[in-house]
Amino acid sequence: MRIGVLTGGGDCPGLNAVIRAVVRKGVSVYGHEFVGFRDGWRGPLEGETMPLDVQSVRGILPRGGTILGSSRTNPIKIDGGVERIKDNLVATGVDALIAIGGEDTLGVAKQLFDKDVNVVGVPKTIDNDLNATDYTFGFDTAVNIATEAIDRLHTTAESHHRALICEVMGRHAGWIALHAGMAGGANVILIPEKPFDIDRVCAYVESRFKTRYAPIIVVAEGAHPIEGQMALQAGELDAFGHVRLGGIGETLAKEIEKRTGKEARTTVLGHIQRGGTPTAFDRVLATRFGLHAIDAVNEGRFGTMVALRGTDVVTVGLDEATKELKTVPVSRYEEAEVFFG
């Protein structure tokens, strides 16, 4: 069997570990042949490929990013996009496709499967917001990077008696903010799932200063205030119709300074969270996902995605994986509120 592999959406620590596991087991155990599609869905859309064999995946386990490249290309929005992909798969002799990506990449995979393309998905996102899997690889790395940043912010905040805000990624899910904020001992954590009260945030800031310590606020990029409290600027839309987020940290800093008279500064971690070498947890999880993905392809279990349930890797339907985002339950967030202030 000739199998295509692609990585779509934002890059993520652990992508190369998946590619390596898929190819090594696929070649050595099953005798399959592989081809890599470049830059996400743009690869099969335009017939852009690269060789993918055991030699090409040597030494890539600890590397961040993806040797295949990535993009946010959405073939569903392109006239005749699906048919072009199907034609290019036939032209390159590809019998099945392994799509490694998040909500959008796997959403396209689901639509292709509905049109008779043999697809197996692998869940990838630092946001940990994919349904049907307990964890996605990349999340642990992002949380560790954000936690280290928060640790460093504590000391400089106290030295300068400033309120420091750390803005993290996560889009419309607050998993990174919640986990990194708890691990880093933040005084306030703001997530998209629960609109925040700016008056309450400022009260926490002032309370923290009274203890002679400086406050650390961790805010997810998609966090937003209770309606009518603060003006927020709308962002542009990407190819999948998502608003480009970012900037809430700076808006929050200005509001805190205006309301409390205390100096506030913002650190936006941005792409630092998704770059660089993956943690050991993410390397192992990504490797296990790759091994199970090639098993699914070999056994003809198409239209599925590999997923972590407890400590086991299982397969679930792509429809279940993409039907809704996995967001932070408010009850989980409220557990952390006892540490605020």
By the 8 A CB rule, do 81 and 44 touch? no
Tokens representing 181 are 């904020």
Q: For this structure, is 127 an active site residue?
A: yes
For every residue of 78-147, DSSP letters joined together read: STTHHHHHHHHHHHTT--EEEEEESHHHHHHHHHHHTTT--EEEEEB-TT--BTT-S--BTHHHHHHHHH
Best CA proximity match to 215, nearest among 158, 266, 174, 269? 158
| Number of other residues whose CB lies within 10 A of the CB of residue 250 | 15
Tokens representing 157 are 């905040």
- The conformation of residue 12, written as its DSSP 8-state character, comes to -
d(CA 2, CA 301): 16
Catalytic pick among 127, 129, 140, 295? 127
d(CA 104, CA 84): 19
Task: Using CB atoms within 10 Å of the CB of residue 95, give its burial: 0 to 12 exposed, 13 to 18 middle, 19+ buried.
Answer: middle
Radius of gyration for the alpha carbons in the chain, expressed in angstroms and rounded: 21
d(CA 73, CA 317): 23
By the 8 A CB rule, do 13 and 3 touch? no
d(CA 19, CA 3): 12
Task: Using CB atoms within 10 Å of the CB of residue 21, give its burial: 0 to 12 exposed, 13 to 18 middle, 19+ buried.
Answer: buried
Residues with a known catalytic role: 127
